[in-house]
Structure 1
Amino acid sequence: MAELSPQYLLDTLAPLADNQLVLAFSGGLDSMVLLHLLSLAQKQHSFSLKAVYINHGISAHANHWADFCKAQCDALGVAFAQQAVVITGQSNLEQKARIARYQALAQYVSTDKHMLLSAHHADDQIESLLLALKRGAGGAGLSGIAAKRPFAAGMLCRPLLVFSRSELEHYAVANKLSWVNDDSNSDCRFERNFIRQHLTPVIKARWPQFQQTATRSMQHIAQLQQLAEHYTRQALAQCVSDAGLLLQPLAELLPLQQDLVLRQWLADFGLNPETQWLTTLKQQVIAARPDAEPLLVLADYQLRRFANTLYVLKPIDVQTPTQTLTWQGEPELALPDDCGCLYISATKQADAIALSATRGQWVFGQLSRRFKPAGAAMSKPLKQWFKLWQVPPWQRLRVPLLLVNGELVAVAGYASSTAPELATAWLHWQR
């Protein structure tokens, strides 16, 4: 059985001399114990250590707790920093505070040498499991709190997860530590507090070993989750392209694996949809008729399908530039609305198209204009050429078009009315 000691921390964290440890420090029992252990471990093995207090401003005592935390760090010779965050509204206060806290702490984890430490313990694991069950979480949620995971530019580590709160309290009393008692911890409007006050005592009284057995179950689920993620990543690699998610190879997977691949693909964009939203995506976007242009919104993104490929688009990706740019022959032209840059050179570059013009106007979105590429039998409206070139509808409105005396002579990245042998310059569009 693990012993709560500085040596245990050193064995668990294995800090190198150039590591920079950052403690998420609230002044409560848990983080006070971890601060004390770290200060002792630092005397045995040299590493950089800073404690950071995030002031949510929710409690009237927040500034007093900040002063307490600084005094404790000063007494132990540990560098201290504090940062205030602003939380608006009273709904989902617990979640808002958590998000704001980690966003603020991320600023202190700026390199791969940084390690953020939090003092979560075994009782927190049980609370996390019950909350995961309450919201119908999947394997990732039911795995509980990870002992180590990537965070910002470095890692987030929770070295006290194997110890119960009673073990931490015993250590604090034995070492005559002081700590903050947050008055909000007794407020059962917060879900964790309700579990802590009303559910956990009943469970432990009926099943004294519940904490150990539940932790073991979470470890089993975590292992299964790691295995699922491994094979999901392999399957996703077969479905993903530079453009988006290829639906034909996705359809060849088992239905359950399709869901896992979709979730992993969306997770790479920071998206975690509910099950019902995923069902809507499959029914109304992926399974839409071939000639449809389906669209589904998730957070700040749009999900669209084109040419049997699924796309995740940011607002800027579907924004049509309205600015007209006058070109006087400059070799480089920056485009508006994140549309990239145009480069004109005397020598042919990869993916460049021929030009004979040296001036004109660059416009966007004029899909009804007629255009005749070099070598084509006849002119057609630009929208018809875009269909032939398999350009997704939202991208068509963001393609730079060169007009000379009102005539469309070049579609950047695709075609020109100038034959290559007649070129006096070459145009390359870097998106």
Structure 2
Amino acid sequence: MTQSFDAALQAFAPQLPLGVGLSGGADSTALLLACHARWPGQVVALHVHHGLQAAADHFEAHCRTLCDGLGVPLRAGRVNARPRPGQSPEDAARRARYACFEALALDPSAQVAIKDIAIAQHADDQAETLLLALSRGAGAPGLAAMPAQWERAGLRWHRPLLRVAGRDVRSWLQSRGVAWIEDPTNADERYTRNRIRRQLLPALEAVFPQFRETFARSAAHAAQASALLHELAESDLAGAGNPPRIDALRALSAPRQANLLRHWLRQAHGAVPSAAQLAELQAQLADCATRGHRIRIRVGAGFVVRKGSVLGWYNS
């Protein structure tokens, strides 16, 4: 079930002091105000200047004015969020933003050490993420969408509003008469996520009013399945060796073999094979009955190759 804004904040129990991601938009502004009201003097705002539009300076100035009025410290950082060739703008901005949050939280020159960070994604954002994953043919890890809590780089991350509808976040903020900034790119339907938000979510609500709850339940099921697949891959890799032996791979069923290969490539080499690349690799393994059979298949920025009795890897 979705939660009210107040119920979600009441259930939120981070370690203090708490960093709160602040863009200046409605969602992050509401989260900052609510956290500051609950833990006065224990909240630090974290702002990322993406440098992608002329209004970015105005966003930072607005955040400073808001934080000064509240008496909340603000740490701001600037990043280059322009995408690399073949990278989506959304992915580039997301990666840059999280890296900057980490740097701001762990800044050795800061007087206050932050171990927990809260960010303001809500139930509508979760639904958009799941729909994006479905549109890309994602497996269980992608369909798990966004976790409510996770750990990375020695930090604990939280999404306390993940079961709160976006309209309820804005209603809470409007009831307090606090202004926020509307990012003009949020209306740009060249971005897939914006098209989902503006076109698909209203249609879903008209046909399936409870879609936020059912989507969240499906994402939770996918997260459980993903965790089980990870455990199985760890066990199979321990048995096959790292790098995996070809004979051990060939002894597995096709689904378990695919699961192990995805896990090995991601964990050992940071590579995510496409469905076509994985199918070709498995076909080559099936044909790998003699020591003379060669394997050389591109995956991501490198190649999977045969090195005697095991699979190997080298960067291109």
Q: Normalising by structure 1, what TM-score?
A: 0.65
Structure 2: distance between partners of 1:286 and 1:71:
63
Shift of 1:123: 0.4
Residue 299 to residue 25, structure 1, CA distance change in 2 (3 Å): same
2:73 is aligned with 1:72: no
Task: Specify which structure has the higher proportion of helix.
Answer: 2
Shift of 1:193: 0.7
Residue 93 of structure 1 corresponds to which residue in structure 2? 89
Spell out the pairing of 1:269-348 with structure 2 (5 A cutoff): 269-284=269-284, 287-288=287-288, 289-314=290-315
| Equivalent pair of 1:23/1:35 in contact (CA under 8 Å) | yes
Larger Rg: 1
- The DSSP-based 3-state class of the residue aligned with 1:159 is coil
2:149 is aligned with 1:148: yes
| Equivalent pair of 2:77/2:104 in contact (CA under 8 Å) | no
2:26 is aligned with 1:29: yes
Structure 2: distance between partners of 1:227 and 1:59:
42
| Equivalent pair of 1:188/1:194 in contact (CA under 8 Å) | yes
| Equivalent pair of 2:30/2:173 in contact (CA under 8 Å) | yes
Residue 187 of structure 1 corresponds to which residue in structure 2? 188
Instruction: Give me the CA root mean square deviation.
Output: 2.5
- The DSSP-based 3-state class of the residue aligned with 1:137 is coil
Residue 41 of structure 1 corresponds to which residue in structure 2? 38
Structure 1: distance between partners of 2:184 and 2:212:
26
Structure 2: distance between partners of 1:276 and 1:265:
17
| Equivalent pair of 1:83/1:104 in contact (CA under 8 Å) | yes
- Tell me the alpha carbon deviations over residues 121-160 of structure 1, each in whole angstroms, 9 at most, x when there is no partner: 0001111111111111111111121111222232321111
Task: Specify which structure has the higher proportion of strand.
Answer: 1
Aligned amino acid, residue 278 of structure 1? L
Aligned amino acid, residue 241 of structure 2? V
Spell out the pairing of 1:39-188 with structure 2 (5 A cutoff): 39-43=36-40, 47=42, 49-88=43-82, 92-110=88-106, 114-188=115-189
Shift of 1:185: 0.9
- The DSSP-based 3-state class of the residue aligned with 2:173 is helix
Shift of 1:307: 2.4
Residue 245 of structure 2 corresponds to which residue in structure 1? 246
Residue 13 of structure 2 corresponds to which residue in structure 1? 13
Structure 2: distance between partners of 1:163 and 1:88:
31
How many residue pairs align between the two structures?
306
Spell out the pairing of 1:365-376 with structure 2 (5 A cutoff): none
Residue 264 of structure 1 corresponds to which residue in structure 2? 263
- The DSSP-based 3-state class of the residue aligned with 1:304 is strand
Residue 82 to residue 284, structure 1, CA distance change in 2 (3 Å): same
| Equivalent pair of 1:285/1:304 in contact (CA under 8 Å) | no
| Equivalent pair of 1:22/1:108 in contact (CA under 8 Å) | no
Aligned amino acid, residue 40 of structure 1? A
Structure 1, unmatched stretches of 5+, are: 316-431
- The DSSP-based 3-state class of the residue aligned with 2:12 is helix
| Equivalent pair of 2:14/2:116 in contact (CA under 8 Å) | no
- The DSSP-based 3-state class of the residue aligned with 1:310 is strand
Residue 285 to residue 254, structure 1, CA distance change in 2 (3 Å): closer
Higher relative contact order (CA 8 A, sep 6+): 2
Residue 230 of structure 2 corresponds to which residue in structure 1? 229
Structure 1: distance between partners of 2:105 and 2:262:
27
- Tell me the alpha carbon deviations over residues 165-213 of structure 1, each in whole angstroms, 9 at most, x when there is no partner: 1110111012222111111111110111101111111110122112222
- Tell me the alpha carbon deviations over residues 203-240 of structure 1, each in whole angstroms, 9 at most, x when there is no partner: 10122112222222222222222222222222222122
- The DSSP-based 3-state class of the residue aligned with 1:108 is helix
Relative to structure 2, which stretch is displaced further, 159-168 or 226-235?
A: 226-235
Aligned amino acid, residue 136 of structure 2? R
